[in-house]
Amino acid sequence: MDPGTSPRTLGIGQRFFLAVACQLWLWVNLFSQASEFEAIAVSIVQLVAVVLISLRLRHMTAINDRWVRVAILVVVLLVAAVDLTIAGRELAGLSLWFSTAKLVPVAGFLALVGVIYCFFKAPTRIMLLLYTVSFVAGMRAIALMLSAQGSSETGEFGTLTIVEAVASMIYPLVFIFRGRYTPVPEPEATTEPK
């Protein structure tokens, strides 16, 4: 984008609709994780979202740090795949767990790093989507760790859920007030042969 031009902002209606849709997805994932069916549904939607965002990033040649966003999507993909596999095995009656001692906590930490990364970028539509899937991945990683530890953490889960619910609102609110269009690359000037 030309540094001399001001970034285009989205209309308040568009920003509000997108922010509310993403916030509802965050809260649905936060407050309705009571069964393996719901965990599988969340994982499938997350996987679809990763594919769609990846296709969008592929066409955005103006992104200088595309590799960071791809890395975030890979982490989201990893958490969704682990969550889907664990939920599927439990639904099938198999009590086989992946080693959550190392894989899930690291993936959860990286997902939360992706959430923080979004705050340092302009609040565009693609960043709102990236924030949403990253936050959900971080929440699912925390839920997997608590499940692996048994019921000893259930007393703290209510407080943790409230904290996550409040924290998840910050970026959508920022997007409502400062949302922009995703930068579009300038067309390259082609010279006609004389």
User: Region 136-157: what's the mean pLDDT?
Assistant: 70
Distant-in-sequence, close-in-space partners of 49: CB < 8 Å, separation ≥ 6: 76, 129, 132, 133
The percentage of the chain sitting over the pLDDT mark of 90, rounded to a whole number, equals 15
DSSP character for 158?
Answer: H
Is 183 among the domain residues? no
Is 75 among the domain residues? yes
Is 3 among the domain residues? no
Q: With a cut of 80, say whether residue 17 has pLDDT above it.
A: yes
CB contact at 8 A, 181 and 124? yes
Lowest mean pLDDT among 20-34, 149-163, 173-187: 149-163
Q: What confidence score (pLDDT) does residue 172 get? A: 92
Q: With a cut of 70, say whether residue 125 has pLDDT above it.
A: yes
Helix, coil or strand: residue 30: helix
Domain count, the chain: 1
Is 185 among the domain residues? no
Is 148 among the domain residues? yes
| Cα–Cα distance, 146 to 88 (Å, whole number) | 18
The percentage of the chain sitting over the pLDDT mark of 70, rounded to a whole number, equals 73
The boundaries of the domain holding residue 80 are 12-178
CB contact at 8 A, 140 and 34? no
For the chain, the C-alpha Rg in angstroms (whole number) is 19
Q: What confidence score (pLDDT) does residue 169 get? A: 92
Residue 153's pLDDT band, with cuts at 50, 70 and 90, is: very low
- Count of alpha carbons within 13 angstroms of residue 161, beta-carbon side: 15
Partners of 124 in the β-ladder: 180
Phi, psi of 4 (to 5 degrees): -80, -20
What pTM, to 2 d.p., does this model score? Answer: 0.79
pLDDT (tens digit per residue) in 156-174: 457 777 888 888 999 999 9
Is 187 among the domain residues? no
- Buried b / exposed e over 76-99, threshold 16 CB at 10 Å, is bbbbbebbbebbeebeeeeeeeee
Cα separations in angstroms, 39 against 6, 11, 186:
42, 34, 42
Is 4 among the domain residues? no
Q: What confidence score (pLDDT) does residue 155 get? A: 45
Is 94 among the domain residues? yes
Output 113 or 41, whichever has higher pLDDT. Answer: 113
| Cα–Cα distance, 162 to 169 (Å, whole number) | 11
Distant-in-sequence, close-in-space partners of 127: CB < 8 Å, separation ≥ 6: 118, 121, 175
